Amino acid sequence: MTHFTRGRLARLGLVGVAAASLLLAGCSTVGSTSDAGSSDAADDGTFTVGFAVGGQPDADWQDLQGDVAKGLADQRGWDFVELSNDNSEATATKNADIFIQKGVDMVMMFNGQPSANPVIAKKYADAGIPVVTFDIAQPGWYFVGVDNAAAGTDGGTALGELAKEKWDCKVDLVIEAEGTAAGQINTWRTGNAADAIGTVCPDIPEENYVKYEADGNLTTSLANAPGVFAAHPDAKNILVVGLNDQAVVGALQAATQLGRDGSIMGWGQDGGLITGPNVDPNLVGSVMYFLEGYPASAFEIADEIAAGNPPAVKDTGDDAAASVKPCAVTAAEAAAIPDINERVKELASAPKGTSEYDLYCKS
Amino acid sequence: MTTTATPATTLFDDPVLPAHRRILNSFRGPVGSITATLVVTLLVGLIWVGPSFFSPSNIQIVGVSVAIPLIVGVMASFALLAGVVDLSIGSMVGFGAVIFNQLVAAGLNAWLVALITVVVGVVVGLTNAFVIVRFGAEPLAVTLGMLTLLRGLSQVIVVNAPPSTLIEPLYNVTQGAIAGFPTLLLIGIGVTLIAAGIVSKTRIGRKVQAVGGDDRAAARAGISVSKVRVIALVASSVGAAVGGILYVGQLGSASNVLGTGLEFQIYAALMIGGYSITRGGVGNPIGGLLGLLVVAGITNILNVTFTDPNYLDLITAAILLAAVLVDRFRGGDSFE
Amino acid sequence: MTTSLITPADPAAPRSPGGKTRRPDSRGLPVSARDALSIAGVWVALIVATTIVRPDFLSTQSLLAITFTMSITGILAVSQAIIVISGGLLDLSLPVSLIVSAWATVTVLNNGLPTWVAIPVGILTGMAWGALNGIIVVFGKLNPIIVTLATGFGGLAVMLIFFKSAQIPAQSDLRLYGLGRFLGLPNIFWPMVMVIVLGGLAFAYTRWGRRLIAVGGNASAAKARGINLRRMRLGSFIGAGAVAGLAGVMFSAVTPSFTPAAGASFQLIVIGAVILAGISLSGGKGNLLVLLLSIGFFATIPTSIAFFGLAPAWALVFQGALLIIAVGIDGYRLKRTAR
């Protein structure tokens, strides 16, 4: 008896689908004739920037990049549209279609799941839209970012020097809090930092270097790190490097919980947790890139594109369109730097062309 | 469950009603209210976005993004219908994609790798089915375990950036269009119609419904409950594996987070479309299609108006609650 | 509704004779004792296996790592167990309760108020969230799995709209508490033990506790005995919310900076630990001491993985596989006793 019911329901559902498709088809003709499909903004002559934030759940600077970019676009009287890549390659790919449909004049994005970048690049290339990518290089896209390789080396060198000074390079354990999903960036930041420690203190044996997955966020890092400390119970002098401040602080917190914080030093990357009143006492320094300020560099490229003479595409970390200078700071130096929200405000009111490096890292 | 017939549905079985009454009555069912919701969604889109909401390029965007969840969801709906929810589909999509992507990148023939991926799907489905059917374990718990296990395996396999594998023909199918309509969505609708036909017209479809509605009554009627559930769970897993392959075609790669949370998005849409994850025997693939279209439509409206995407989940949650509430007022499931 | 599907939803549904509903009364104790023994057995096996590979596994360091991992997961598992035992099926919005309470706690502290204000506010926030779920379930007469799926989605979205990240003041008493140790174990471990003991006692010896079990076991029979179902259901959600609120307070004490999505990683582990403990999703059955063992076992896996030198992702693989095996065995046992 139920099957008959389902059958009828199905048929009526089909009627519904048919009606909806008709409606769609009808309107789609309307849409294509009035050319409303390929957007308004492109036609009215105003320069339009499409901005895709990373949307990774544990990184608050990603949304702030969007806020900063919006401010810069407003300064110039440009149209600005923002989407979130939602930390998903499927969404990032769909966002490309939406920007192309919108008819934006250029795109800026951070894509934390860059595996779909070749497909996305193909779409933008076909549509003839220039792209600025933050931190993750893709052939054909303007690369704006920190020289990640240098940032890793800078952080590792600074931490190594501290270990040399305080412990005479007697280091029992070097922990690398990785975020392998970031791919090459992880190798540069985390791996180079570890290598740099080895350069400063060449006598640390190979087996004292330990890697674990921190996934670039504090909660995961704090969940996975306790086992690492427990598995190396005899290590006294411990150094921690990692993909970002969150990963490093997760390890430092785990050390505190296990009573292993007597002689531990961490050096972060990205400066996410080195400013403000609540800095972890064992986070002795970080490399700041002022991530939220990347859009300032991207908009210098945008200015040239809007003026009709796009600069040559420089698409690698070694040969970047705009290289954000990494700024290695100790915790003491960082205390003088305002926190992220304050910096965003100051950047918005600074004269055009000012970078945060100029504002906060002149020393 | 003593009977799945509700007051609303018994009306349709009355053969003396004239045709227009039957049509009217049927729109009191889940398919009716979801059709109404879809129409409202489309109208909101038309008013807020303008005619460009129905432009070919926008239909292409919606079609490309909804097609794979549709195929995965329709296949998973067989498990729901048979009364065994399969939570592992999101991880299976990811795991299938990872296997396909890694092996293609390793230089194997794409067809062979696709076959391997589908076989892996069958194995996963059989494993789920073995524990659920043979040992009588809770489907929710078993497939939750499988969800965790497969996600872990994907992370073990893909440690750094995954390789890129742009397979032109597959890319063209998953991103392309035929006569101005998204190819993959046409395939998805085709799969949906076939599934709807199977559910309402064939013996196996009726068996699946009977097993999901009341398994003991079904067993008394001589239906092999175990066999039906095994088939349904394997279908669900294979659908997810195929979804994974299609994602690799669409995205040219597969990271270890691909498909995370997809199961909840799909089941929310299916429940909006009249399925239940806690009770078998209800729902129709057409309703599932409409449910997915409603969510995809809202997503698209928010996307093309560049509205904060967080509102999407909020709206989806509200519609989901409203849908199950309406279903209950109609005489469906009520809790206590 | 018979075997596999979780539907105590229909009180009119006939129950299989000698099946689940009668079990807590007639064989509750032996079953939970057997559950306890089997979980303790595999736990010991895991410890022995790890010790064979790495003799230094048996150390205070491992103990600290495991007890720390147990703490927040454990409190959350008790919250989930209250829902499951009382027949509320599952609370899928637990990550939201955790983070929203932690956020409320931290916000109070950041406004300069003392810890003794912040803790109750955190717990009350958890209760309020539980009440929201409970009200929708009770007055909408809707299935809790679906309701909490929706509120979990929606709640996370609302949090993401309202805050990006939250930091606890480094000098607050709560933060210092979170960094300390008592009797050699992390401070936050002890509230977990307390919650388990108090919860276990409450289930066994208070009228409310027994009624919750009765409602979970067979709602219609409980109703026939004059128990107000609505009040019990609402009460179970609010009570579970309070426990989740406490978990949020403890989470904020050990996590110096967190984002709205930070609760997601607890979801699967908590549900897994509850199910492994033999707390059946069909309700009316469960023992919190077995739950403690189950949490301990789950928490040992990542530490063992680190000792084996494997990538942390393997922990997910093992936890998933163990969950499948455990519910398989549990289902098989139920099937045999039902015969």
- For chain B, the structural domain boundaries read 32-47+55-329
- Cα of A93 to nearest chain B Cα, Å: 7
What phi, psi does A106 have (nearest 5°)?
Answer: -160, 165
Cross-chain CB nearest to B26 (options A12, A17, A118): A12
Q: What H or E segment, with its residue span, contains residue B235?
A: helix B225-251
Q: What is the pTM of this model?
A: 0.86
pLDDT score of A289: 82
For residue A38, list chain B residues with Cβ-Cβ distance below 8 A.
55, 57
* Same domain, residue pair A244 and A306: no
CATH of the domain at A198: 3.40.50.2300
Question: Could you tell me which chain B residue has the CA closest to the CA of A1?
Answer: B13
Measured CA to CA, the distance from residue A268 to residue A189 in angstroms comes to 9
Measured CA to CA, the distance from residue A118 to residue B171 in angstroms comes to 12
Closest among C84, C124, C121 to C106, alpha carbons compared: C121
Which residue in C94, C327, C336 has the most chain B C-beta atoms within 10 A of its own C-beta, making it the best mutation to test that interface?
A: C327
For A298, the token pair is: 């991207």
Strand partners, A196: none
For A78, the token pair is: 């440009």
* Same domain, residue pair A140 and A211: no
DSSP assigned state of C238:
H
B257 touches B26 (CB < 8 A): no
With bands split at pLDDT 50, 70 and 90, how would you rate the model's confidence at A159? Answer: very high
SS (H, E, C) B63-118: HHHHHHHHHHHHHHHHHHHCCCCCCCHHHHHHHHHHHHHHHHHCCCCHHHHHHHHH
Per-residue exposure over C277-300, b if at least 16 CB sit within 10 Å of its own CB, e if not:
bbbbbbbbbbbbbbbbbbbbbbbb
Q: How deeply is B326 buried, as exposed, middle or buried, from its count of CB atoms within 10 A (0-12, 13-18, 19+)?
A: middle
With bands split at pLDDT 50, 70 and 90, how would you rate the model's confidence at C75? Answer: very high
Q: What H or E segment, with its residue span, contains residue A328?
A: strand A327-330
* Helical ranges in C54-172 per DSSP H: 60-85, 94-110, 115-140, 144-162
CA Rg value for chain B:
20
* Same domain, residue pair A216 and A141: no
pLDDT score of A44: 66
Question: Could you tell me which chain A residue has the CA closest to the CA of C53?
Answer: A231
Question: Could you tell me which chain A residue has the CA closest to the CA of C251?
Answer: A219
Cross-chain CB nearest to C255 (options A63, A218, A276): A218
Q: What is the DSSP string of B144-211?
A: HHHHHHHHHHHHHH--SSPPP---HHHHHHHH-EETTEEHHHHHHHHHHHHHHHHHHHSHHHHHHHHH
Cross-chain CB nearest to A212 (options C68, C170, C312): C312
pLDDT score of B307: 87
Asked if the model's pLDDT at residue B53 lies above 60, the reply is: yes
Please tell me the total number of residues recorded for chain C in this structure.
339
More confident residue, A58 or A65: A65
- Helix B310-329 / helix B30-49 crossing angle, nearest 10 deg: 150
Sign of CA dihedral B153, B159, B161, B165: negative
**Of the residues A237, A269, A288, the one at which a domain ends:** A288
For residue B50, list chain A residues with Cβ-Cβ distance below 8 A.
36
- Cα of A124 to nearest chain B Cα, Å: 14
The mean pLDDT of chain B is 87
In a domain, A158, yes or no: yes
Structural domain count of chain A:
2
pLDDT score of C339: 57
Contact A246/C at CB under 8 A: yes
What's the complex ipTM? 0.86
With bands split at pLDDT 50, 70 and 90, how would you rate the model's confidence at C284? Answer: confident
Closest among A269, A275, A309, A262 to A287, alpha carbons compared: A269
Interface size B-C, in CB pairs within 8 Å, comes to 206
Asked if the model's pLDDT at residue A46 lies above 60, the reply is: yes
Query: Tokens 């934390």 — which residue?
Result: A112
HSE toward the beta carbon, residue B122, CA cutoff 13 A = 6
Asked if the model's pLDDT at residue B279 lies above 70, the reply is: yes
* Same domain, residue pair A315 and A197: no
- Cα of B64 to nearest chain C Cα, Å: 24
Asked whether the beta carbons of residue B251 and residue A90 sit closer than 8 angstroms, the reply is yes
The mean pLDDT of chain C is 86
Asked whether the beta carbons of residue C306 and residue A218 sit closer than 8 angstroms, the reply is no
Region for A137 from its dihedrals, namely left if φ exceeds 0, alpha if ψ lies in -120 to 50, beta otherwise: beta
For B155, the token pair is: 């992370």
- Cα of A33 to nearest chain C Cα, Å: 38
Please provide the distance, in angstroms rounded to a whole number, between the alpha carbons at the two ends of chain A.
82
Percent above pLDDT 70 for chain C: 90
* Same domain, residue pair A172 and A190: yes
Measured CA to CA, the distance from residue C250 to residue C71 in angstroms comes to 8
Quick: pLDDT tens for C13-24. Answer: 333 333 333 344
Cross-chain CB nearest to B138 (options C150, C281, C314): C281
* Same domain, residue pair A309 and A283: no
Query: Tokens 């740099």 — which residue?
Result: A196
A positions 278-317 inside 8 Å of C (CB):
278-280
What phi, psi does A238 have (nearest 5°)?
Answer: -125, 135
- Cα of B170 to nearest chain A Cα, Å: 12
In a domain, A200, yes or no: yes
Asked whether the beta carbons of residue C307 and residue A231 sit closer than 8 angstroms, the reply is yes
pLDDT score of C272: 87
DSSP assigned state of A191:
I
Asked whether the beta carbons of residue B280 and residue C229 sit closer than 8 angstroms, the reply is no
What average pLDDT does range B81-87 have in this prediction?
Answer: 92
What average pLDDT does range C152-170 have in this prediction?
Answer: 89
In a domain, A167, yes or no: yes
Quick: pLDDT tens for A95-122. Answer: 999 999 999 999 999 988 888 999 999 9
More confident residue, C29 or A280: A280
Fold of B32-47+55-329: ABC transporter involved in vitamin B12 uptake, BtuC (1.10.3470)
pLDDT score of B5: 40
What average pLDDT does range B292-304 have in this prediction?
Answer: 92
In a domain, A56, yes or no: yes
pLDDT score of B13: 44
Asked whether the beta carbons of residue C9 and residue B335 sit closer than 8 angstroms, the reply is yes
Asked whether the beta carbons of residue A213 and residue C313 sit closer than 8 angstroms, the reply is yes
Cross-chain CB nearest to C151 (options B138, B215, B317): B317
Asked whether the beta carbons of residue B59 and residue A97 sit closer than 8 angstroms, the reply is no
Measured CA to CA, the distance from residue A147 to residue A126 in angstroms comes to 29
Please provide the distance, in angstroms rounded to a whole number, between the alpha carbons at the two ends of chain B.
13
Interface size A-C, in CB pairs within 8 Å, comes to 107
Measured CA to CA, the distance from residue B252 to residue C156 in angstroms comes to 30
In a domain, A115, yes or no: yes
pLDDT score of B334: 75
Question: Could you tell me which chain A residue has the CA closest to the CA of C57?
Answer: A231
* Same domain, residue pair A190 and A279: yes
Measured CA to CA, the distance from residue B210 to residue B223 in angstroms comes to 9
Asked whether the beta carbons of residue A94 and residue B65 sit closer than 8 angstroms, the reply is yes
pLDDT score of A19: 55
With bands split at pLDDT 50, 70 and 90, how would you rate the model's confidence at C328? Answer: confident
CB atoms within 10 A of CB A315: 18
* Same domain, residue pair A182 and A118: no
- Cα of B27 to nearest chain A Cα, Å: 8
Hey, which chains touch B, using 3+ CB pairs under 8 Å? Answer: A, C
pLDDT score of C217: 87
In a domain, A182, yes or no: yes
Candidate ranges A180-189, A222-231, A349-358, B264-273; pick with highest mean pLDDT: A222-231
pLDDT score of A357: 80
Question: Could you tell me which chain B residue has the CA closest to the CA of A14?
Answer: B286
pLDDT score of A30: 41
What average pLDDT does range C34-44 have in this prediction?
Answer: 86
Asked whether the beta carbons of residue B57 and residue A8 sit closer than 8 angstroms, the reply is no
pLDDT score of C19: 37
Asked whether the beta carbons of residue C61 and residue A257 sit closer than 8 angstroms, the reply is no
For residue A276, list chain C residues with Cβ-Cβ distance below 8 A.
167
Asked whether the beta carbons of residue A8 and residue B22 sit closer than 8 angstroms, the reply is yes
More confident residue, B272 or B93: B93
- Helix A2-33 / helix B30-49 crossing angle, nearest 10 deg: 10
Asked whether the beta carbons of residue B5 and residue A2 sit closer than 8 angstroms, the reply is yes
Q: How far is CA C294 from CA B265, C36, C73, C77, C298, in A?
A: 30, 8, 11, 10, 6
In a domain, A260, yes or no: yes
- Cα of B208 to nearest chain C Cα, Å: 14
Asked if the model's pLDDT at residue A26 lies above 60, the reply is: no
- Cα of C163 to nearest chain A Cα, Å: 9
Strand partners, A84: A53
A324 touches A314 (CB < 8 A): no
Asked whether the beta carbons of residue A83 and residue B309 sit closer than 8 angstroms, the reply is yes
Contact A101/B at CB under 8 A: yes
For C141, the token pair is: 């007469």
- Cα of B159 to nearest chain A Cα, Å: 6
Q: What is the DSSP string of A291-310?
A: GGGHHHHHHHHHHHHHTT-P
* Same domain, residue pair A90 and A208: no
Measured CA to CA, the distance from residue B139 to residue A80 in angstroms comes to 47
For residue B251, list chain A residues with Cβ-Cβ distance below 8 A.
89-90, 93, 115-116, 119
Strand partners, A134: A144
Fold of C24-333: ABC transporter involved in vitamin B12 uptake, BtuC (1.10.3470)
For C200, the token pair is: 């276990």
Q: Tell me which residue range forms the domain holding A78.
A: 48-146+291-324
Asked if the model's pLDDT at residue C218 lies above 60, the reply is: yes
Q: Report helix, strand or coil for A360.
A: helix
For residue B324, list chain C residues with Cβ-Cβ distance below 8 A.
140, 142-143, 146-147
Asked whether the beta carbons of residue A2 and residue B213 sit closer than 8 angstroms, the reply is yes
For A301, the token pair is: 């490229």
Strand partners, A144: A134, A322
For residue B139, list chain C residues with Cβ-Cβ distance below 8 A.
4-5
Measured CA to CA, the distance from residue A288 to residue A247 in angstroms comes to 15
pLDDT score of B10: 38
Asked if the model's pLDDT at residue A34 lies above 90, the reply is: no
Asked if the model's pLDDT at residue A12 lies above 80, the reply is: no
Query: Tokens 């401010």 — which residue?
Result: A71
Asked if the model's pLDDT at residue C144 lies above 60, the reply is: yes
For residue B198, list chain A residues with Cβ-Cβ distance below 8 A.
none
With bands split at pLDDT 50, 70 and 90, how would you rate the model's confidence at B19? Answer: low
Question: Could you tell me which chain C residue has the CA closest to the CA of A63?
Answer: C164
Which residue in C51, C58, C257 has the most chain A C-beta atoms within 10 A of its own C-beta, making it the best mutation to test that interface?
A: C257
With bands split at pLDDT 50, 70 and 90, how would you rate the model's confidence at A363? Answer: low
The gap from C-alpha B277 to its chain's centroid, in whole angstroms, comes to 12
Cross-chain CB nearest to B2 (options C12, C151, C315): C12
